[in-house]
């Protein structure tokens, strides 16, 4: 059932040209831009930005927007009347964005490596950054959709977390201040840096991702709504 829902969601994404362009092309364009602009100065910086923008655009913004518009269309309400449980419905609807984000991130890192970046010395930490970052962005997207009444409003409501993601990442890259790990994005940047041999604090960084994911889940449980009309 999750597969069927996920495939349907992927079809909807592909058949909606604007959403598809945003989800497919935007992160790749940004990724290429980061590689060209910052590649020579330091590949870690470029790759971190690539990973963060993919998590931000493809996972976080796409999930917020699609859950909001599916709720607005009363499609989420319909799915609740079917045979699948709430958890299965939600997983099915968000899964394509999560998988797409992971594939794009891996693709961009691959492009950077092909363009001259080194292969990561600790690929396990890169994998942790991607999976943990995707989980955090996904939980944040579900929660944000709860306070977003229309798909157009998502452009505004996604702002704070999106910039916290990029800003936290840039902070963590540019200073040793451990407080950067308190911001979403700090943990991802720290783990990506450590994957390429940087000092890093992988333990604390992983904890930061876990904590932000937990916050996202708690807020989702409180804020997420299935029906556009009620309450």
- Per CB under 8 A, residues contacting other proteins are 4-5, 8, 11-12, 15-16, 70, 73-75, 77-78, 80-83, 85-86, 226-227, 230-231
CB nearer to other proteins: give 65 or 213: 65
CB nearer to other proteins: give 90 or 194: 90
CB of 81 to other proteins, least distance (A): 4
Residue 79 tokens read as: 């799915």
Distance separating alpha carbons of residues 225 and 146, to the nearest angstrom = 6
CB of 155 to other proteins, least distance (A): 21
Is residue 131 a contact partner of residue 98, using CB atoms and an 8 Å limit?
no
CB of 218 to other proteins, least distance (A): 20
Distance separating alpha carbons of residues 12 and 56, to the nearest angstrom = 20
How far, in Å, are 10, 101, 152 from residue 43 at the CA level?
32, 20, 35
CB of 8 to other proteins, least distance (A): 5
Distance separating alpha carbons of residues 190 and 185, to the nearest angstrom = 8
Q: How many C-beta neighbours within 10 Å does residue 177 have? A: 11
CB nearer to other proteins: give 39 or 149: 149
CB nearer to other proteins: give 20 or 99: 20
């Amino acid at each position: 059932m999750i597969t069927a829902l996920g495939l349907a969601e992927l079809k909807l994404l592909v058949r909606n040209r604007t959403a598809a362009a945003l989800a497919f092309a935007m992160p790749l364009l940004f990724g290429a831009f980061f590689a060209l602009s910052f590649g020579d100065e330091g590949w870690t910086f470029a790759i971190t930005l690539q990973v963060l923008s993919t998590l931000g655009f493809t996972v976080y913004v796409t999930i917020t927007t699609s859950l909001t518009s599916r709720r607005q269309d009363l499609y989420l309400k319909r799915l609740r009347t079917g045979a699948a449980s709430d958890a299965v419905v939600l997983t099915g609807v968000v899964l394509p964005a999560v998988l797409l984000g992971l594939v794009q991130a891996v693709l961009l890192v691959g492009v950077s490596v092909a363009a001259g970046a080194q292969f990561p010395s600790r690929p396990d930490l890169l994998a942790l950054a991607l999976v943990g970052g995707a989980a955090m962005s996904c939980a944040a997207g579900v929660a944000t959709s709860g306070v977003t009444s229309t798909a157009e409003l998502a452009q505004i409501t996604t702002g704070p977390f999106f910039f916290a993601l990029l800003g936290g990442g840039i902070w963590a890259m540019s200073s040793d201040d451990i407080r950067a790990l308190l911001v979403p994005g700090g943990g991802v940047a720290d783990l990506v840096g450590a994957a390429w041999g940087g000092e890093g604090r992988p333990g604390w960084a992983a904890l930061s991702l876990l904590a932000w994911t937990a916050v996202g889940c708690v807020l989702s449980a409180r804020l997420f709504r299935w029906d556009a009309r009620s309450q």
